[in-house]
Amino acid sequence: AWDDMPEVHQRLAARLQEAFAAFLEHTDAQVGRLIDSLRDLGQLDNTIVMVLADNGASQEGGPFGVMHEMKFFNGILETPEQAIDDLVAWREAPPQRRTLVQALFRHWGRLRRR
């Protein structure tokens, strides 16, 4: 249970939950835009909207997962501290070094220093 987890594991889990919540909030807004557009075009009643998801559970990355799947395939397992550092590095990376995902997270303002 949550209370039995070490503090660093709780911090990592909370960070990952924050990132997922930010992604889900953005996705919800975009699906809402799609529904609004279909309604405006008079096509909502002719449309079936299906939302499918994969919970993402897998063996890759060990008990804490990894921020980069290729680390697992190269035998590099992260500690929770390293994973938290990766999340901070994404947020603080200079714009020219950020990937698209990092730039979008920064744009959406969801990863904040705690």
Tell me the per-residue pLDDT of 32-77, one tens digit each, with 9 for 90 and over: 999 999 999 999 999 999 888 766 555 555 666 666 777 777 877 7
**pLDDT at position 100:** 60
Q: Determine what percent of the chain is predicted with pLDDT higher than 90.
A: 23
**pLDDT at position 105:** 58
Q: Pick the more confident residue, 73 or 2.
A: 2
Q: Is the pLDDT of residue 79 over 90?
A: no
pTM, two decimals, is 0.60
Contacts of 112 (CB under 8 A, 6+ apart): 91
Rounded Cα gap, residues 22 and 1, in angstroms: 24
